[in-house]
Amino acid sequence: MQKSQKKEAMVSDQERQELNAKARQGETVVPGGTVGKSLQAQEHLSEGRSRGGQTRKEQLGHEGYQEIGQRGGQTRKDHQLGHELDSKERQRQEVDAKERQELDAKAKHGETVVPGGTGGMSLEAQEHLADGRSRGGQTRKDQLGHEGYQEMGQRGGQTRKDQLSHEGYREMGRKGGLSTMEKSSAERVAEEGIDIDESKFRTRT
């Protein structure tokens, strides 16, 4: 029995010497013993850290200790999520900037790229025009009320119809219906050879 214990002690000593040599070379041979420069130092560090954690656990109670661990994990998760959202936002802004550049180039070539922005020679100019026209119409609508605004539109159309005659009014409607986002009605009439009798647009005397 004594021989067996002696043999185990010798094996244990031999193992400790090997582990001690590894620890001196910078290896962590004891879980939680990081930075210790000998087997004994790593054992002390590991034990101290374990005790420190246990003490904190006793102070907080099991649930509090668990909560603190979850919070740490959540903070890391939130941090990572924040990075991902920042990255997505940056990508979206880059796409938006690219799209705006393309639309701006089209606007500079005379295309209407913003509904209601006709006449603007840049994307920003068209946005301002559309916004101004929309606000102007809304202000007038607010002043008159929905019915008054509708009535004014009907009266304006009727007055123009009375001035032009039925045929001229219909002809003007045809021409107006030809305009698209890409081309004005005049461009389409010229390119496609559509027959519009503009002599009918003259007001009746």
Label residue 68 by pLDDT band (50, 70, 90): low
pLDDT in the model for residue 134? 66
**Contact of 175 with 183, CB cutoff 8 Å:** no
Element (H, E) at 71: helix 39-108
pLDDT of residue 20 exceeding 70 = yes
Compute the distance between CA of residue 30 and CA of residue 46 in angstroms, rounded to an integer: 7
Q: CA–CA separation, 72 vs 56, rounded Å?
A: 15
Provide the mean pLDDT of the chain: 67
pLDDT computed for residue 87 by the predictor: 72
DSSP string spanning 109-129? TT---STT-TT-SSHHHHHHH
> What are the residue boundaries of the structural domains of the chain, listed by start?
1-59
The pLDDT of residue 92 is 74
User: pTM for the full model?
Assistant: 0.24
Confidence (pLDDT) at 60: 61
Average pLDDT over residues 46-59: 64
Q: Crossing angle for the helix pair 123-176 and 185-192, nearest 10 degrees? A: 60
Using CB atoms within 10 Å of the CB of residue 55, give its burial: 0 to 12 exposed, 13 to 18 middle, 19+ buried: exposed
Percentage of residues of the chain with pLDDT beyond 70: 40
Q: Tell me, what's the pLDDT at 153? A: 59
Q: In 3-state terms, what secondary structure has residue 69?
A: helix
Q: Would you say residue 77 has pLDDT above 60?
A: yes
DSSP symbol at 203: P
Give the rounded distance of the alpha carbon of 122 from its chain centre. Answer: 25
